[in-house]
Structure 1
Amino acid sequence: MRLAKALVFLLAWPVAGMAREVGEVDTVFKWFGPNHKIVVEAFDDPKVEGVTCYLSRARTGGIKGGLGLAEDRAEASIACRQVGPIRMSDELEDGEVVFKERTSLVFKTMQVVRFFDEARNTLVYLVYSDRVIEGSPQNAVTAIPILPWASNP
């Protein structure tokens, strides 16, 4: 009974940020269950107005993937862009999680963290995957110089 309650809690655990799926492509056909895919998702930085990040990552298909029991691969790619005037709502904390999503039933997550390079006036975003026991060194990084935003007359 305790294990069931713990699983319900972990499955209901909120993630930082919410992504919207932009598109997907199939990579491997599966006879049963959904195909393996690469999905592209977009999310806005919750503390930095004017920044949108695009994340591409593998999603495991098949029967286990369709049931949410499969573990997705650790590889991901990220590109963040200035999409309007940049306004920071709060003091930014280096290494703060701006997006997090489970990539296995319980133990593995993919997350995006933000750093501010004050010397270059640049926001830096890092995507990586971690596990309770052992994470992965695979990662991707993107940077956005904070520039004035030209508004249309």
Structure 2
Amino acid sequence: MKKLAIAAALFVLFSVPALADELYCASTTFRIMGANDKVCVSGFDDEKVGGVTCYISQARTGGMKGMVGVAEDPSRFSLSCNQTGPITTDLTKLKTREEVYSERTSLFFKSTHVYRIVDPARKTLVYLAISDKIVEGSPYNAVSSVPVMPWSGR
């Protein structure tokens, strides 16, 4: 009973609810044992800037470790952010840099983060995706920008 309680506590502690909607996963490597490696596309809205939606694709490791959720996913991703509606948020009221998305990519020490960076001189929102790891991060990154423009209402 004690082991079950510890396992449940670890599951809650290290489980982060998805902040994005998973749209599609494409298998990239067939594995005889366990899940295939794949690339998954997810979409999320910037909660503080209505009218902006971002899409991130991420590599996911399969195999037996991937099937049970203990594999470390590679730090490879792509990011595209777009204006999908009117942006009425006052850019001057936003923090200069703020995290808008985070997802664990290993059981304990690695995550993918997306940050919003405000460029007031160009009236643009810049989104930066990076991967971090407690001991050593990754140079892989992706960037996307959304110029804040009037919305035609179509």
Residue in 2 that maps onto 1:80: 81
CA-CA distance at 1:87 after TM superposition? 2.6
- 1:7 is matched by which residue type in structure 2? L
Runs of 4+ off more than 6 Å: none
* 3-state SS of paired residue (2:47): coil
Unpaired stretches in structure 1, ≥5 consecutive residues: none
Residue in 2 that maps onto 1:105: 107
**Residue 147 to residue 129, structure 1, CA distance change in 2 (3 Å):** same
CA-CA distance at 1:132 after TM superposition? 1.2
Unpaired stretches in structure 2, ≥5 consecutive residues: none
Q: C-alpha separation between the residues in 2 aligned to 1:99 and 1:43?
A: 8
CA-CA distance at 1:9 after TM superposition? 4.9
* 3-state SS of paired residue (1:87): coil
Q: Is the 8 A contact 2:16 2:104 kept in 1?
A: no
CA-CA distance at 1:88 after TM superposition? 2.3
- Provide Cα deviations, 1:1-47, integer angstroms capped at 9, x if missing partner: 8xx477345314556xx111111211100111110000111000010
- When normalised by structure 2's length, the TM-score is 0.89
Aligned residues: CA RMSD: 1.9
What is the total number of aligned residue pairs between the two structures?
Answer: 148
- Provide Cα deviations, 1:41-64, integer angstroms capped at 9, x if missing partner: 100001000000000110111110
Identical positions, percent? 49
Residue in 1 that maps onto 2:96: 94
Q: Is the 8 A contact 2:49 2:89 kept in 1?
A: yes
